[in-house]
């Protein structure tokens, strides 16, 4: 009897696991569908405040399905911003890995960030978030910091290599990385707002300015 109970329990556990796995897969697909639908609506409307009704229509889902995964439209926008930064982090890492020395890695990071403005498709996806980022930053401080830290963590090692040693080298490298991030994103925001593209000369000058700032902070 005990063996029979053990077998029954094992079978039930397997069925529960399969049911949970199926539900997780369905929920993952639903979230991915909502995110991609929101991206399409944002690209089509070029809006910093896309209509939730338009997103639901594009995704082909009901309101209850949406609220099963997101507490509000802002919650969705933060998820989109985080998703975008994860993709950007992967892109930046690939560029950095292919760069040679620390200076080349810093240039690769800056050029990779600015590519979000130069490439038309990327600009359409990036513009609403950078233009309207202040409001989301205040409302979702912890979430925003976490996703920004992923980008800074890629920049900090080459910056630290160029910043020299001494006391508080790590803290200095982080401060330099934050300063570069703020300068680059401010440049991105200006071009995205004006719907312009930074020239090759402007991008090169920005990289040289940042590198000079790193060296002077030794």
Residues 86 and 64 in one domain: no
Number of structural domains in the chain: 2
Residues 12 and 104 in one domain: no
Give, in order, the Cα–Cα distances in Å from 176 to each of 74, 165, 195: 31, 14, 28
Residue 31 resides in a domain: yes
User: Which CATH number is 90's domain given?
Assistant: 1.10.357
Token pair 């079978």: residue: 11
Residue 108 resides in a domain: yes
Residues 97 and 205 in one domain: yes
> Which of 70, 103, 124 represents a domain boundary (last residue)?
70
Q: What is the residue range of 22's domain?
A: 1-70
pLDDT at residue 117, rounded to an integer: 83
Q: What is the pTM of this model?
A: 0.74
Residue 76 resides in a domain: no
Residue 75 resides in a domain: no
> Which of 70, 100, 117 represents a domain boundary (last residue)?
70
The Cα angle at residue 138 between residues 133 and 144, in degrees rounded to 5: 65
CA 44 to CA 57: how far, in whole Å?
14
Residues 88 and 191 in one domain: yes
CB 198 within 8 A of CB 114: yes
Residues 143 and 183 in one domain: yes
Residues 147 and 193 in one domain: yes
Q: Which residues of the chain have pLDDT under 50?
A: 1-2, 4, 11-12, 15-16, 19-20
pLDDT at residue 84, rounded to an integer: 79
């Amino acid at each position: 009897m005990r063996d029979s109970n053990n077998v029954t329990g094992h079978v039930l556990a397997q069925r529960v696991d399969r049911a949970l796995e199926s539900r997780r897969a369905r929920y993952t697909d639903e979230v991915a569908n909502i995110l991609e639908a929101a991206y399409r609506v944002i690209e089509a409307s070029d809006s910093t405040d896309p209509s939730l009704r338009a997103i639901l229509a594009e995704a082909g889902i009901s309101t209850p399905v949406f609220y099963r995964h997101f507490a509000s439209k802002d919650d969705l926008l933060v998820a989109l911003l985080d998703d975008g930064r994860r993709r950007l982090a992967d892109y930046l890492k690939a560029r950095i890995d292919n760069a040679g020395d620390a200076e080349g890695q810093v240039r690769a990071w800056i050029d990779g960030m600015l590519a979000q403005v130069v490439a038309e498709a990327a600009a359409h996806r990036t513009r609403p978030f950078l233009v309207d980022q202040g409001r989301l930053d205040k409302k979702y401080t912890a979430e925003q910091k976490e996703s920004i830290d992923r980008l800074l963590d890629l920049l900090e090692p080459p910056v630290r290599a160029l910043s020299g040693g001494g006391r508080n080298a790590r803290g200095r490298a982080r401060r330099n990385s934050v300063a570069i991030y703020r300068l680059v994103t401010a440049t991105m925001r200006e071009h995205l707002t004006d719907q312009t593209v930074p020239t090759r000369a402007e991008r090169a000058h920005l990289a040289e300015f940042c590198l000079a700032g790193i060296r002077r902070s030794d």
